[in-house]
Chains A and B, each alone.
Chain A
Amino acid sequence: MSTHVPAGYKWWTGGKSPYNVSYGKLMMWIFLLSDTFTFGALLISYGTIRVSQNYWPDPNHVFNAFPLMGHTNLPLAFVSLMTFILIMSSVTMVLAVHEGHKRNRAGVEKWLLWTILGGSLFLSCQAWEWTHMITGSHAVLIDGQIKEIGATITQNPYGAAVPGLMHDGHQVTTPGPVGFGGFFFGITGFHGFHVFSGVCLLVLALVWTRIGKFDNLGHYEMIEKIGLYWHFVDLVWVFVFLCFYLI
C-alpha cells in the first residue's frame, strides 16, 4: 500500500477506493457524521429552551461536590476528573490502534484493557454524579412550604434564592426551571449510553484479539474503526461539558 503515487494521479476513476479508505471505515465516518446531527439536535434544543428561560442555575453552584469530601465546595472539580479520565482513555485508544498497525497482539490487548478501564471509570463517575444529584436534598420553597428535594427530570431545586430565608443553615431557593434536569439527564444519559456501547465494543474487540481473529485476518482495522467511534464519543463529551458545565 505504500506504493509511490505519481503527481496528478486520478483517485476517482473507479476500480479502486478513492483515497484508499476501506468501505468499513468510510461507513464509520459517515455514521459519525450522522450521529453528530443527533447530538447537535439535542444540544441545540437544550440551548433554545435554556435561553427562553429568565433564570438558569449556575453550574459552579450545581456541580460542586466530590466523593468523600462532604460539603466542601469544589466547583467543577469532579467533572474535570471525569473529563480527564475520558481523554486519557482516548490516548490509550490511540496506542491500541498504533500497536494494531504493528500487528502486536499483546500490545493491542494491553491498551484495549486500559481503554476499557477508562471508559468504565467514566461511567462509574457519571453514576455517582447522577446519584448525588438525584438523592441530594435542597431546601426549596414550594407552594409556601419549605421542602427538601433533589434534582430529577421533573423537578429542579436550583432556583433563585429567596432573600433572607434560611433553613438548617442553608439558603432556601425557589424551584428552578424543570427543563434543566430533563436536558441534563437526557443528554448526559444519551452520551453515557454511547460510552457504554463503546465499552461493549471494546470488550468484544478484546475477545476477538485474544482468540487471534485479527491475526488471522491479517489486519487490525476493526480496532481502528472502534477507535474512530471512541474518539468521537470523547469529542461529543467536550461539547456536553462545555454546554452543561462551563456555560
Chain B
Amino acid sequence: MSNEIAVQHGVIPHEVHEHHDVHHHHETFITKYVFSQDHKMIAKQFLITGIIWAIIGGLMSVLFRIQLGYPDVSLPWLEDIFGHWAKDGKIQPEFYYALGTMHGTILVFFVLTAGLSGTFANLLIPYQVGARDMASPFMNMLSYWFFVLASVIIMASLFVQTGPASGGWTVYPPLSALGDASQGSKIGMDLWLVAMAMFVVSQLLGGLNYVSTILNMRTKGMTMTRLPLTVWAILFTALLGILSFPVLFSGFILLLFDRHLGTSFYLSDIVLGGNILPNEGGSPILYQHLFWFLGHPEVYIIILPTMGLVSEVMSINARKPIFGYMAMIASMFAIALLAFLVWAHHMFVTGMNPFLGSVFVLLTLLIAVPSAIKVFNWLTTLWRGNIRFTPGMLFCVGFVSMFISGGLTGIFVGNSTLDMHLHDTYFVIAHFHIVMGVSAFMGMFAGVYHWFPKMYGRYMNNTLGYIHFWVTLVCAYVIFWPMHYEGFAGMPRRYYDYSGWESFKHFVELNRVISFAAILSFLVQLLFVYNFFYSIFKGRKVTSQNPWGANTLEWTTPIRPGHGNWPGEIPEVHRWAYDYGKDGKDFIPQTEPVGKDESTH
C-alpha cells in the first residue's frame, strides 16, 4: 500500500494542478464574457448561440410549412419582408428549396451538434469528472470562436443575391458542384462549404479537448466505471466526431475542386443547359459515400449526448439507480462502433449491388439491438420509481417515447426492400424527425431545465415548463405521425407543391393540419426562450447547494462557482454516481466514502 501512494505522488501530471493559479487573475468584461476560457462560460455561449440558431432554423420551417399547408394563399406581408423571394405574397420555389436546405443544415449541425454537445460537454465534463477546467481552455475557446466564424459565414450566405445553398442539407453533386445548375449552387454553395469546413475545425478542437479531459483529468477515485453516463455519452460522441468529420472534410475539398478547378471527382457525362460538359470519369455516388460516412455517425453524434443527459436526469428524478449501468455503456459502445458500418443504408436506391445492400441491412438492423437495450433500461429505471415530475423529468419520458416511435420506423427503412418504396418520401422525414429531431430536442430540454440552476443559480419557471412540454409532445406527434401515411402513399419529400398531383392532392388538408401544429409548436418554443432568458435574471434563486439531491460532483461546488469550480481541493470520489435509494438513504453523493457495512451494488 505505502508503495502505491509513493507512485501516486510520482505520477500526478503537472496539468492537474496547472489551473490552480489561474483562477485568481483579474478578469475584464472581455475575458469573462467574450473570449472566456472558463468551461462554464463557454457552455453558456454555445447554448445561447444554439438557441439563436434554433429560432432562425425553426422560423424557416414555419415559412416552408406555410407553403405546404396553404399552397394557394397569397400573403402580401411575406413580400414586404422577403421581397422577390416571396413575389406576390407566395414563397417562390428557389426560396422554398433554400429554406428547406438551410433548415436542415442549421438544425442538424449548428443546433443539435454544436449547440448541444458544445453546451453539455463543456458544462458537464469538468464538473462531473472533477476537474478545474478542460485540458486546454485555450483550444476550448478557439472551438467556440470557430463555431462563431462558421455561423457568421452561413448567416452571410442567407443574404447574398442568389441566396444560400438550396440542394438539400446533404448537398449532393452534381447539383452542388455546378454553379450554373441552380440559383443555390452559386456563391451560396461556396459559403456553405467554407462555413462547414470551419465547423469541422471547431468540432475537432472541441472533441480533442473532451476526450483528453475525460481520460486524463478525472479526480482521484473517479475510475472510468464511476463516471456518470453523461460523460460516457460525450466521450463516445467526441470519438465519433473525431473519426467521421475528417471524411466529410475530404469530401468537401474534392467538391470545392470540382466547383472551381474543373476537376472531375464527382462529375461525368453531364449536359447542362444544352451544353455537354467536359468532365468525365467522376462519380456522384462517391460523394454520397463520403457524405454518409459522416452523415450516419452524425445522427448518433446528435442522439448520444441526449441519451447521456436523459439517463442522468431520469435516475435522479426516479430516485433509483439507473438500470443496467454497464449495459448502458456497452450499448453506447456498440452503437458507436456500428454507426461506422451502416452508412450505405442511405444509398439503397443508388444502384448498389443487392448483395452489398443486404450486408448493410444486416448491420443496420443490428443497431436496433443496443438501442432496444437502452430503451429497456430507461423503462426499467422508471418502473416503480419514486418519480418527481419536474419539467426535466417529463422531457426525459418524452424522449423515450419519441425514441421508441422513431426507432421502430428505423426498422422499416432499414430493410432495403421496403426502403425502395419509402426512400425519399415523407416516411423518412417522419422517421428521422421523430427519432433524431424531436428526441434530441427533448433530451436537450431535459438537460437545460435540469442544469439551469447550476448554470445561472436560479430556477426556470415550472408552469411554463409543463406547458412547453405537453404542447411540444402533442404537436410533435400531430406533425410527424401523419407523415408516415403520406410516405406510404409515396408522397416524395422536398417537393414544392403537392396540390397539383393527382396522387397527392387529397393530402392537402392533412398538410394543413401539420402546418398548423408546426406553427403552434414553434410558438411554444418561444415560450421556452422567454422562460430561459427571464429566469436568468428574474428566476427563483437557488438556495441550497444540491437542489435536486443528486450524487454527481457538480453539486458539490458553490451555488455560483468561480473559475476553477471548487474553492478548496477537488473532492475525491468513492463510489459510482447512482446510489439513490440505497440502504434506506435517499441519495449518497459520490464524495461519500463507502461505509463498512454498506451493501455493494
Q: Is A6 an interface residue (CB 8 A)?
A: yes
Interface string of B236-275 (1 = CB under 8 A from A): 0000001111110111011001000111110000000000
Most chain B Cβ neighbours within 10 Å, of A27, A48, A53: A27
Q: Is B405 an interface residue (CB 8 A)?
A: no
**Which stretch in A90-98, A178-186, A204-212, A224-232 binds the other chain?**
A178-186
Interface string of B83-99 (1 = CB under 8 A from A): 00000000000000000
Asked whether, in the complex, the Cβ of B223 is within 8 Å of the Cβ of A186, the reply is no
Chain B contributes a number of interface residues (CB within 8 A of A) equal to 64
Which residues of chain B from 274 to 299 have any CB-CB distance to chain A below 8 Å in the complex? 278-283, 286, 289-290, 293
Asked whether, in the complex, the Cβ of B136 is within 8 Å of the Cβ of A14, the reply is no
Of the candidates A1, A41, A181, A182, the one whose C-beta lies within 8 Å of that of B290 is: A41
Of the candidates B11, B282, B286, the one whose C-beta lies within 8 Å of that of A17 is: B11
Q: Is B204 an interface residue (CB 8 A)?
A: yes
**What are the 5 closest A-B residue pairs judged by CB atoms, nearest first?**
A15-B220, A14-B222, A3-B10, A14-B218, A182-B263
Interface string of B409-439 (1 = CB under 8 A from A): 0000000000000000000000000000000
Distance between Cα atoms of A38 and B539 in the complex (Å): 47
Q: Is B217 an interface residue (CB 8 A)?
A: yes
Asked whether, in the complex, the Cβ of B280 is within 8 Å of the Cβ of A178, the reply is yes
**9 further contact pairs, Cβ within 8 A, besides A42-B250, A178-B279, A179-B281:** A4-B7, A12-B224, A14-B221, A16-B16, A41-B293, A45-B265, A48-B286, A49-B282, A52-B281
Summarize A's interface: helix, strand, loop or mixed: helix
Shortest beta-carbon distance, A200 to chain B, in Å? 17
B279 proximity list for chain A (CB < 8 A):
178
Q: Is A177 an interface residue (CB 8 A)?
A: yes
Q: Is B12 an interface residue (CB 8 A)?
A: yes
Q: Is B6 an interface residue (CB 8 A)?
A: yes
Name B280's closest neighbour in chain A (CB-CB).
A178
B283 proximity list for chain A (CB < 8 A):
48-49, 52
B interface, CB within 8 angstroms of A: 3-4, 6-8, 10-16, 129-130, 135-136, 139, 204, 207-209, 211-213, 215-224, 226, 242-247, 249-251, 253-254, 257, 261-265, 278-283, 286, 289-290, 293, 572-573
Of the candidates A23, A31, A40, A153, the one whose C-beta lies within 8 Å of that of B263 is: A153
Shortest beta-carbon distance, A204 to chain B, in Å? 16
Distance between Cα atoms of A16 and B223 in the complex (Å): 11
Distance between Cα atoms of A74 and B11 in the complex (Å): 55
Q: Is A145 an interface residue (CB 8 A)?
A: no
Most chain B Cβ neighbours within 10 Å, of A20, A182, A186: A182
Name B293's closest neighbour in chain A (CB-CB).
A41
Interface string of A147-173 (1 = CB under 8 A from B): 000000110000000000000000000
A39 proximity list for chain B (CB < 8 A):
250
Q: Is A68 an interface residue (CB 8 A)?
A: no
Shortest beta-carbon distance, B205 to chain A, in Å? 9
